[in-house]
Structure 1
Amino acid sequence: MKNRVYKVEISLDKSEDISSAQCSCPKGIKCHHIAALLLFAHYNVSVTDKHSDYLTQKCAVSVSTIMDVVNKTVGQHKNENWHFARKHRLTASNFGPVLSACRRNRFPDSLYRSLIGVYNLDGVKAIQWGRTHESVALENFTKATNLNVLPTGLWLTPTGFLGGSPDGLVGEDCIVEVKCPYSHRNDDLQEKLKNTKSYIIYFNDDGELHINKQHHYYDQVQSLLYILNRVQCYLVIWTLKGSVIAIIKKDLSWASNVTILQSFYVNQYIPKLIENVYNVK
């Protein structure tokens, strides 16, 4: 049997019903190519397009729901509601790695395992160190700035599947994010981070502090400012040698990444989640 290529055209009306269909093959009414294309579209195009629209509609949340989630998740990792509310959502701490993967168009299995929660991070020294010393860092921040920090919970976007949990709120326009880097726990940051862009901040030869916008933490901070609609973040970096307070202003251009994150969640993450949780491919 010879392999031949035929041209199939199918037109739909505004109700998505078939208005016309034709195939260039010579079989006339016995042609099966039109039916084959419709079946392919049903099991492929509809899954990625129609189902993504359905998911987007079903996940959407109201302002009252957003605030209800915030209030019920205060305490964050110490609150069971926070862990439950974050499950299967894409949250700010993972936005950096996800955006990097999207820019490269490479999505390693390790990324999905991290997002789905395959890894148990409770015993990781760096995680334990950060959680243990976060309150100390916030106390030092309050003493240094005379600013009060209000505890908060998980904030969602209206999509319902993107969210983030800042370490604290300051006034009506600012947030606080704390980092207690285990790898730098014994370091003087101004000496250790001089002219190196291995971390979220670095210092030049004159000792001036700069923000490394290529670091994953920058995406995390900007996403939190976007989600909470606030204008400034106090980034507190604490070590045993002292604290550094960096101010990061809201970058309005960062908002273009939200569409990328939403597309990743619907078209990449959810199919992978279904495959892993329900063994459906």
Structure 2
Amino acid sequence: MYSTWKICELKEELRKRGASLRGRKADLIERLESYDLNYNFGQAVVVDDEPSLVLPPMESYRDINSNTKLPPLNKTQIRHYLSISDKKMDKVEQLYESRHLVTARSFIDAIKNTYLKGTCRKTMKNLHYEVDIKLDEYGSIEETHCECPAGSGNNATCKHVAVLLLGVESMVSKKCMLLFETCTQRLQSFHAPKKPYGGTPVRAEKLPRRRENKSVLFEPYPVKEIDRENYNARVRNLVLNFQNSSMPLKQLYEPANPYAIEVDHDYLVTDAKTKVLLDLQLSVITTEQIQYIEEATREQQTSEEWLTQRRKRLTASNFHTICHLRPTSMKSYASQIQHRIEFRSRATSHGIINEKIALQKYCEMYDLIVLPCGFFVSQERPYLGASPDALLGSDTIIEIKCPYTSRFKQIDPVTVPYLILNGNNLCLKPNTPYYYQIQGQLYCSGRKYCNLIVYTFKDLKVIYVYRDENFINYMLSKLDEFFNNYFKPEIFKKYLYYNYDVYNNK
């Protein structure tokens, strides 16, 4: 009886009976049949264990076309939203380009929230899932829901939600959308060959001949007379001396001991450790090299060079943590920095997405022109680096914070706890991680002032932070100690000894 029902109809019936709404379609059908056999188990209370979106009426939606008013949704917002569940963007784009999106409709309410409703085809079966998405006026993704098992609740990150978002983004940027095409929407192709034939007649003498079954293995002298020991040594030398090879045979041979190599070559002008620091630009760096790194990393998070430079240095965002570490935790934290994994959450995605909006509003509010910037390396201490969000003039950096928990609130010391009220002016607390970060940015960039922009959907405030030399000197003493005693050995372990101790279980 229930096999012909849609998922939404099954859930509605279960909701009336006070049953759970979780599981796949087969689970919902089995649950309904169990309730029928047991007379609803005597339950009368309706329990909705799946949070749902509050949606406008169905008749208020309109089909999306090139004239539809849509919020400024872009791929960066989609990518950061999907990064919470490690969803691969390229696979989602393949689904969209394969026309898995069937329909797409929209509605804008009185407070400029945009509701999207679409239908997406299942990948392997001829089933359709209904998708609902709520966006704010800036294109930020507020709530999502899908009928598929992975899309339950109001924060779904399944591929069907992503396909609808990509379709809307395409309509915003290109004024077109790839939808599923039925057979009647395409021109008939019965008379067209499946693939063109571009060959020419072949002469009889050029026809391939049958080869004789001769052995292709050749050895100049009998196998029995091979010197086994020397033969194995010869193969080992050939394998190890073949550069840039990833052949599996290499895994059979133990790597050379880099500690022994370092001791054996003590006659060199520059010892191995000093050379590693010079090659990585961690002991000496020129003004031209600093300028090149800054210009090459202006894309910041999307730049591979930016990630490479950060991996081998102490960055301003870690200064507060390093200065407050216990001695017992410093070694493990140094190793953690060397093998850092990009942290992703709703709060970080919200900050990255809204930084450009905040910067644009700041420039419009004060009629200013700011310049992009990349990764600044300190010339005095090349193992320190920082990435401000923008530059203003020759003495000022811009840093932007978009607090996620206060995104719908006015900015004050209660809603933004790292701020304090000094008279009538908002100031940044000197014991907070952001104060350490900004002082580190001022030191690495060689500038004097920072305009800290705090932005929410309801408010925008600018907090002025000045360079504090006494604080910077205190911070540098802690950073120098951490680098020389803990971070530098991790650098050598990775770039000089190639983690030899780990591979050899020593």
Could you say which residue in structure 2 is the equivalent of 1:46? Answer: none
Deviation at 1:267, TM superposition (A): 1.5
Give the unaligned 5+ runs of structure 2. 1-262, 264-270
Note if contact 2:448-2:466 (Cα within 8 Å) is conserved in structure 1: yes
Question: Within 5 A, what are the aligned runs for 1:72-91?
Answer: 72-91=296-315
Corresponding residue number in structure 2 for 1:133: 354
Identity across the alignment (%)? 27
Q: Secondary structure at the match of 1:262?
A: helix
Closer/same/farther in 2, CA of residues 186 and 274 from structure 1, 3 Å limit? farther
- 1:75 is displaced (CA, Å) by 1.3
The aligned runs of 1:177-188 (5 Å cut-off) are 177-188=399-410
* Residues 128-168 of structure 1: CA deviation (Å, up to 9, x unaligned): 11110000010111112222110010110123221111100
Which residue of structure 1 lines up, in the alignment, with residue 333 of structure 2? 111
Aligned to 1:235: 452
Question: How big is the shift at 1:189?
Answer: 2.0
Aligned amino acid, residue 301 of structure 2: H
For 2:274 and 2:339, locate their aligned partners in 1 and report how far apart those are by CA, in whole Å: 25
Relative contact order, CA 8 A, sep 6+: which one is greater? 1
Structure 1 pair 263/57, CA: closer, same or farther in 2 (3 Å)?
A: farther
Amino acid of the structure 1 residue aligned with 2:482: F
Aligned-partner SS, 2:285: coil
Q: How many residues in Structure 1 have an aligned counterpart in Structure 2?
A: 225
Q: 1:183 to 1:116 in 2, by over 3 A?
A: farther
Correspondence 1:246 to 2:463: yes
SS in 1 for 2:405: helix
Query: Which aligned pairs between 1:1-281 and structure 2 lie closer than 5 A?
Result: 59=282, 60-101=284-325, 104-107=326-329, 111-112=333-334, 114-121=336-343, 123-158=344-379, 159-190=381-412, 192-193=414-415, 198-199=417-418, 201-203=419-421, 208-256=425-473, 257-272=475-490, 278=499, 280=501
CA RMSD, 1 decimal: 2.7
Query: In 2, Cα distance between the equivalents of 1:116 and 1:232?
Result: 30
* Alpha-carbon distance in structure 1 between the residues aligned to 2:405 and 2:345: 13
Aligned-partner Cα distance in 2 for 1:183–1:274: 41
Q: CA deviation at 1:211?
A: 2.0
- Mapped partners of 2:478, 2:288: distance in 1: 26
Corresponding residue of 1:31: none
**TM-score normalised by the chain length of structure 2:** 0.41
**Cα contact 1:190–1:207 (8 A) shared by 2:** no
Does the CA contact (< 8 Å) of 1:172 and 1:230 recur in 2? yes
Check whether the contact 1:55–1:266 (CA below 8 A) recurs between aligned residues. Answer: no
User: Structure 1 residues 275 and 171 mapped into 2: Cα distance closer, same or farther (>3 Å)?
Assistant: same
SS in 1 for 2:463: strand
Letter in 2 for 1:73: T
| Higher Cα Rg, which structure | 2
Q: Which letter does structure 2 place at the counterpart of 1:111?
A: Y
Q: How far apart in 2 are the matches of 1:182 and 1:114?
A: 26
Measured after TM superposition, the shift of residue 96 of structure 1 is: 1.2
Range that drifts further, 216-225 or 78-87: 78-87
- Which blocks of at least 5 consecutive residues in structure 1 are unaligned? 1-41, 43-49
CA contact (8 A) 1:113 1:119 kept: no
Please give the alpha-carbon distance, in whole angstroms, between the structure 2 residues aligned to 1:181 and 1:52.
Answer: 43
Change (3 A) 1:267 1:70: same
The C-alpha deviation readout for 1:157-215, integer Å capped at 9, x for no partner, is 12322111110000011000011122222222226348xxx42x1236x6541220000
What displacement does 1:220 show? 0.7
Q: Write the distance in 1 (CA, Å) between the matches of 2:310 and 2:303.
A: 11
Deviation at 1:62, TM superposition (A): 0.6
* Change over 3 Å in CA distance of 1:113–1:126 after alignment to 2: farther
Amino acid of the residue matched to residue 214 of structure 1?
N
Seen in structure 2, the aligned counterparts of structure 1 residues 83 and 251 have a Cα distance that, compared at 3 Å, is same
Distance 1:65 1:154 in 2: 12
TM-score (norm 1): 0.71
Question: 1:55/1:149 Cα in 2 relative to 1: closer, same or farther (>3 Å)?
Answer: same
1:114, distance to aligned residue in structure 2 (A): 4.6
Find the aligned partners of 2:466 and 2:376 in 1 and give their Cα distance.
19
